[in-house]
């Protein structure tokens, strides 16, 4: 007998991103505020994609071109729809009616200001649709203090309605299974249910949650899936944004430690959404990882260092008080010490810059040593220029390499030199005034000034 796999269910995800977010008190749309170096909208789009959505529709408000642009940046294949007036969540979903009408098996509805929902939770909603045959699956959570939240109205295990807090009967106020807002609908019944939703409620809005009651009234099944409350935290103001950041940082730190990373003081380390640390990396307290950082195994990031857009090879030591800026690429066993800054530069294996140096727009050959106070002068006020340093070069203390300039392999740059011309391999380059000594000058100077 030949076994044939069941056809894969096709999924449309509708992401609601039209809210103005006035409580953020910001000139920037709410969903463009960031968590761990990525906008809330981009977090949601990434989770939706990971859950297997075949099509993504993003609903924005009138004049929200910046939100639409971020959606296209984060999910280039996403379709953008505009909600002409803010008339409620069901009305917002129907702004994507053209996509809904294409006939998907599953329709996920997500909110761009609920950025902590995991891909597996979205997949769980889809699984519930498939396994229960429900027309609607709603996501909820149990709250110790449910005031202000819509409630799940259950008859046994069956979900028969979701009631907004303002519309609750007195007997329902004690219910604590709350609505998280997210929902999955069977594609065949999604449009008929959404188009039947009215405004008979305290807010006179088209509530997406009414899809549950309508389904029940039509003899269709509705089901509930619950998760921890922190996963469905909605962000409406700066305080909630900070709370969401704390939750996300806790997740990222835990994932790093489970992957073999040592965090000496986990709570003081800040990760970005895409930070990649290999096993046996050690991170000391008060380290900040901006977006785009990768650190290979056996490296140590010492306290109070700041890394962004940097690649660190095996066995490197960074910091304390070091800064790696975008484009910094370090091969194995590089030492970057206190108050050293590296930007758009490649440092070969075994390079040492142990203190008080700036290396920008440069290539530094393997085993070279950069002395304290040495800098690459890469910018003339209008354009950037490159410095090329060969292998096993010694750059003396307080030297300035004025780009564009090339230093040959094995060369020595004398302390305090300003190098403006290329230096050949294995040469000693000195570029400073010859020392002059005038005996007795200091005594005469003091004597003249005492009169």
Question: Tens of pLDDT along 146-164?
Answer: 888 999 999 887 899 998 8
- Tell me the pLDDT tens digit for each residue of 294-316: 999 999 999 999 999 999 999 99
Average pLDDT, the chain: 95
Exactly one of 43, 270, 335, 355 is catalytic; which is it?
355
Res. 3: pLDDT tops 60: no
Q: Which residues contact 27 (CB under 8 A, 6 or more apart)?
A: none
Active site residue 355: yes
What gap in Å lies between CA 114 and CA 109, rounded to an integer? Answer: 11
- Tell me the pLDDT tens digit for each residue of 211-246: 999 999 999 999 999 999 999 999 999 999 999 999
Q: Which domains does the chain have, with CATH numbers?
A: 11-232 (3.90.550.10), 255-429 (2.160.10.10)
- Tell me the pLDDT tens digit for each residue of 370-379: 999 999 999 9
In this predicted model, which residue has the larger pLDDT, 170 or 418?
418
Banded model confidence at residue 6, pLDDT cuts 50, 70, 90: very low
Share of the chain above pLDDT 70, in %: 98
Angle at the Cα of 220 from the Cα atoms of 219 and 226, rounded to 5 degrees:
130
> Cβ distance 227 to 139 under 8 Å?
yes
């Amino acid at each position: 007998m030949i076994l044939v796999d069941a056809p894969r269910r096709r999924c449309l995800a509708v992401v609601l991103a039209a809210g103005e977010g006035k409580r953020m008190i910001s000139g920037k749309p709410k969903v463009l505020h960031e968590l761990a170096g990525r906008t809330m909208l981009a977090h949601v789009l990434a989770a939706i994609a990971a859950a297997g959505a075949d099509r993504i529709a993003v609903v924005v408000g009138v004049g929200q071109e910046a939100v639409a642009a971020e959606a296209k940046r984060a999910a280039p294949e996403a379709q953008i729809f505009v909600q002409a007036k803010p008339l409620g969540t069901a009305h917002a979903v129907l702004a994507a009616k053209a996509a809904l009408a294409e006939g998907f098996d599953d329709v996920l509805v997500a909110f761009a200001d609920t950025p902590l929902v995991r891909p597996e939770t979205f997949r769980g909603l889809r699984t519930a649709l498939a396994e229960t045959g429900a027309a609607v699956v709603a996501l909820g959570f149990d709250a110790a203090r449910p005031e202000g939240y819509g409630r799940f109205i259950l008859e046994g295990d069956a979900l028969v309605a979701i009631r907004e807090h303002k519309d609750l009967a007195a007997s329902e106020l004690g219910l604590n299974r709350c609505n998280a807002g997210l929902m999955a609908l069977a594609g065949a019944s999604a449009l008929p249910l959404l188009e039947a939703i009215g405004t008979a409620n305290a807010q006179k809005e088209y509530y997406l949650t009414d899809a549950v009651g309508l389904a029940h009234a039509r003899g269709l099944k509705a089901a509930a899936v619950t998760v921890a409350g922190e996963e469905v935290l909605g962000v409406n103001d700066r305080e909630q944004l900070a709370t969401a950041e704390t939750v996300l940082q806790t997740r990222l730190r835990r994932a790093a430690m489970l992957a073999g990373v040592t965090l000496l003081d986990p709570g003081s380390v800040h990760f970005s959404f895409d930070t990649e640390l290999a096993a046996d990396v050690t991170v000391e307290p008060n380290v900040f990882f901006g977006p785009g950082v990768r650190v290979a195994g056996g490296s140590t990031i010492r306290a109070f260092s700041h890394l962004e857009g940097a690649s660190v090879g095996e066995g490197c030591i960074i910091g304390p008080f070091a800064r790696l800026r975008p484009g910094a690429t370090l091969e194995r066993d590089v030492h970057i010490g206190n108050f050293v800054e590296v930007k758009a530069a490649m440092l070969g294996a075994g390079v040492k810059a142990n203190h008080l140096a700036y290396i920008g727009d440069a290539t530094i050959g393997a085993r070279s040593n950069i002395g304290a106070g040495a800098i690459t002068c890469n910018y003339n006020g209008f354009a950037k220029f490159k410095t090329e340093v060969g292998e096993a070069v010694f750059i003396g203390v307080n030297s300035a390499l004025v780009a564009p300039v090339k230093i040959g392999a094995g060369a020595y740059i004398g302390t305090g030199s300003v190098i403006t011309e290329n230096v050949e391999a294995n040469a000693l380059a000195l570029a400073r005034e010859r020392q002059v000594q005038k005996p007795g000058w200091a005594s005469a100077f003091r004597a003249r000034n005492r009169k």
